[in-house]
Copies of this chain bind each other. A is one copy, B any other.
């Protein structure tokens, strides 16, 4: 569904959202531990998200990653789009060069609905909205 990079990215972003809700910042090491990902790899990914403005970062002692107001209201769809592009939202399920209503592949009609469901959900899910459940151990970012 998502690339591994994207899976890590989402987990990291949600972790940062939760840990930085109070205005503090969280370092790479803690993030990597918190989502059980390779430290250097997630560092790379966050560099990227940071350049694209989806997470904020500060160098130096007591620095780290955090989400500002704007980022807290970004959606999972934004993260997915930045990392994986929009193949999942608009690409053909069977890999035809482009998905098309007038020359559809055999899966088109059904998968269109499914893609819309996915998009609808990812677009409605704001990065900050899982904090409470994460806090209360109703949701997990590693196992």
Contacts and interface: CB of A to CB of B under 8 A. Distances in A.
Nearest to A121: B110
This chain: copies in complex:
2
B139 A7 contact: no
A100 interface: yes
Contacts of A11: 94-95, 105
Residue of A76, A88, A103, A140 ringed by the most chain B CB atoms within 10 A? A140
B105 A140 contact: yes
Nearest to A76: B107
Nearest to A140: B103
A110 B118 CA distance: 9
Contacts of A111: 1, 121
